Structure 1
Amino acid sequence: MARAGWDAGGGGWEWRRRLFAWEEEGVRDCVNLLHNIVLQDNIQDQWRWLLDPIHGYTVKGTYCFLTNTEVPVTDAVGLDVWHKCVPSKVSVFAWRLLQDRVATRANLVRRRVLQAVDNLCVGGCGYPETADHLFIQCTSFGQVWYLVCQWLGIPCVFQGSVKRHFLQFSQMAGMTRPSHDFMKVIWLACVWAIWKERNNCVFNLLVTNPINIFERVKLLSFLWLSSNVASFSFGFHDWWRYPRFCMGIM
């Protein structure tokens, strides 16, 4: 590629078919990254650890970086969605959600997959379908959180940001630390159920029903907990009616 020319329009970029608009955007980004790259045949390639360019990679240095309290909250949030009780695909989805990498209509418009006029929320509220709007602010999908809080018997004034909402919900003040794991599972079940229902609205032309999503959240959270927590000996009826008691919150 270097010999053929990797500048814009160079011979290094040859394709078997015509590129899509979002692919052309990726090529432009790649060209910009390679713009200042100069290859030198007499220098051997090597890896470089940016956290410690002098001494290189060490497990201790990496551990200190990950556990440093000065790391911004927004960076630490993404590391906290991995839970042993939850399927890996759900944790991966939640991680992508917190990074704003899910295929909401606003993101698809930004990537030129959809036209700008097609960015409205599938809930029919008339607002652009961003991640924050779809999962928190939408009058249809966002109503699920109020139903969940009524079920749990806790007051709720939610943040408008997905990241801050995750921190607020999963680390609810006034609750014991063991209950935070339960709250995290419920939060993951909520975002997964909302996303599945959203996709049903898009691809199967179904009408959004917050009650159905809420019931799905209760079922998913119970199945995940009963299958992976040995000390969770309650039945679905107990979980459905007395979630606080099942979580050890009196």
Structure 2
Amino acid sequence: MGTSPSQIKELRQNSLIADRLSSSREGLVWKWEWCDVLTQEEELDLLKLKELLLDINLNLNCADRWRWIPGDAGLFSVKSCYNFLVQFVSAENLNPSLLEAVKKLWKNDVPSKVNVFGWRLLLEKLPTRDVLASKGIITNPHEICCVFCFRHVEDCCHIYYHCKFSQVVWSAIFKWLGCSITIGEEGLNHFVKCGDLVKGHRVRHLIWLTTNWCLWRLRNNIIFRGEVADVSKLIDNIMAVSWIWFSGRAGRKSTFSFADWCTNPIACLQSI
């Protein structure tokens, strides 16, 4: 029938709920065997548990079964879960320009995980260090700095558009693309201006997505693998990854080579 709550302080670790809860004429009877005195917080949790189970009727002749309460048939579905969660979420009015940008984002023919990443970036919902600190996951104030410059708090705007390291990377990318975009642009404006460089919808933001994706991966590798930030190495990685995505998907109809991609990516993108 399942294991008992608060197993850490339960005298018999393998006890069942049936061992601790039974029915009588007076109602539910609890039979706890704690190996230690409960704290005040644990007493409150136990009280909440008892309140939840007040209307439960135990039937020894029926086997236990799982039932998804929000679903009409007692079965789980993504739709029923979504409808259940929507009840507790207040509606958020998004900028119409942002909604239009998100629609254009999903048209890019890149790996789905990259599109999801780009969507989270546009909405500023990435797990940056400032977000982790606000949720109590990071508690050391020295750990909320940007891993590239170590001078400012790491949030989406800083790590992608304001950090000196990222600005050098974007300058190199714009030089590779043969264009000039104001370094100060960020977020939505940055996305739109990069997209205006290419006519094809399926590859319009391919390089924008690749650059941000590779920046994020480098950021993670610095944190978890001790990698060193190297602009030249990152640019080479961006060019290689974007070529793989271009040639493997959108570039099937293109006759351009990787050498052409390295010298004139805009011509390659507009050839399909």
CA RMSD of aligned residues (A): 2.8
Whether the 8 Å contact between 2:145 and 2:151 is mirrored in structure 1 is yes
Which letter does structure 2 place at the counterpart of 1:86? V
Alignment pair present for 1:11 and 2:35: no
2: CA distance, partners of 1:201 / 1:106: 17
Q: 2:119 aligns with which of 95, 99, 102?
A: 95
Query: Any unmatched runs of 5+ in structure 1?
Result: 1-7, 15-46, 51-69
- Counterpart AA for 1:156: I
Which residue number corresponds to residue 245 of structure 1? 267
Structure 1: 4+ residue segments shifted above 6 A = none
CA distance in 2: counterparts of 1:190 and 1:247, whole angstroms: 16
Q: Is residue 76 of structure 1 aligned with residue 100 of structure 2?
A: yes
CA contact (8 A) 1:82 1:91 kept: yes
> Are 1:148 and 2:181 an aligned pair?
no
Give distance in 1, aligned partners of 2:240 and 2:115. 17
Report how far residue 84 of structure 1 moved: 5.0
Report which of the two structures shows the higher radius of gyration computed on alpha carbons.
2
Give identity over the alignment, percent: 26
Shift, 1:125, TM fit: 4.1
Q: Give the structure 2 partner of residue 222 of structure 1.
A: 243
Between the aligned partners of 2:187 and 2:49, the Cα distance in structure 1 is 41
Q: Distance in 2 between matches of 1:226 and 1:240?
A: 13
- What is the rounded CA distance, in whole Å, between the counterparts of 1:154 and 1:114 in structure 2? 39
SS at match of 1:140: helix
**Runs of 5+ unmatched residues, structure 2:** 1-43, 52-82, 87-93
SS in 1 for 2:220: helix
| 3-state secondary structure, aligned to 1:11 | helix
Q: Which has the higher contact order (CA 8 A, sep 6+)?
A: 1
For 2:116 and 2:140, locate their aligned partners in 1 and report how far apart those are by CA, in whole Å: 28
Give the aligned length.
Answer: 186
Distance 2:118 2:95 in 1: 20
Write out aligned runs for 1:112-191 (5 A): 112-115=136-139, 117=141, 118-172=143-197, 177-178=199-200, 181-191=202-212
- Residue number among 129, 140, 160 corresponding to 1:105 in the alignment: 129
Q: State the TM-score, normalized to the length of structure 1.
A: 0.66
Mapping of 1:1-40 within 5 angstroms? 11=48
Q: For residue 193 of structure 2, what is the amino acid of its counterpart?
A: Q
1:116–1:78 CA distance, 2 compared to 1 (3 A): farther
Deviation at 1:128, TM superposition (A): 0.6
1:191-231, CA deviations, whole angstroms, 9 ceiling, x for partnerless residues? 11001111111111111112111111111111111111232
